[in-house]
Structure 1
Amino acid sequence: MSDVMRAPALPAERRAAKKALPARFNADKHVCVFIEQEPGQVHPISWKLMGAGRKLAEKRKLDLAAVVIGPEGEATRSAAVEFFLRRDLVDLVADNMLADYRNQSYSMALTDLVNTHKPEFLLCKPRSWAVMSPRAVTAFTRPRRR
């Protein structure tokens, strides 16, 4: 006879409960696409990213959200309206501090959005302000090293 003891089997409801995701993962499920703006205009790659985001959102049964960050004013507002007419959601961050691109301020704005909405996916233009999007993504997804 073996000395190994087996743990008693878990009841069915406990086994099922272990497989369920925590509530925080069931809340706001969407694909976020960062809309990059060049002076007064939306960068053309943003349209391609929205198309890819739409396919991903439909495949995963998620909402699609456009993220527009920029200074207060007509250009930022019109970019948000342009995407709102065609998409599920638009997250708009408009502040005069964002008139000139500074890595820290844009990173903080995107990080706040990621922290607040916790999107399942964040799509950004390749090499899009190279440090900003990785900072936003890693700020709340990896434990910080000391």
Structure 2
Amino acid sequence: MLSELHGISITRYLLLILFLCACNPLKTQRGKIDDYKKVNIISSTGDTIRDNSYEIYISKSDTSRKMLRYYWENGQLQAESYFQNGKKVGKWSTYFDNGALASEGNFVGDEKNGEFRVYHNNGKLSVIEHYTNGIKSNDWHFYDTLGKEIKVEHYKK
């Protein structure tokens, strides 16, 4: 549905992006959750926004580092992501509503870089992708739901 993105209303999503765009540069790579503190989101009226579908964390040792976690309606983690100046950076992971890993990969300056892995909802590998500065590169391997390789595509850098 156009009015929602991964179960989050477009308005809330835009508020989150605006908040993250105002962040200072990320000076180090992501840390453990213990290195972050959860922050409240304040509306334009000064009220705390209470929404269990996402959480924002700021590094305890470096307030320029931001982490965002989205949750499924059942409480399972849906995605964990990191930002620098409102751009995607570091390891990004997504999960199915049963808690199984759905995808993982690395962003640099808002672009996919390196290997990305996508999984079927049964936990078997679906695709191994490669990117160089956001552009498809190298061999991409595709697998069926049983884990058998079914296709390879090659992309030039």
Shared fold, TM over 0.5: no
Scaled by the length of structure 2, the TM-score of the pair is 0.26
Larger % of helix: which?
1
Higher relative contact order (CA 8 A, sep 6+): 1
Higher alpha-carbon Rg: 1
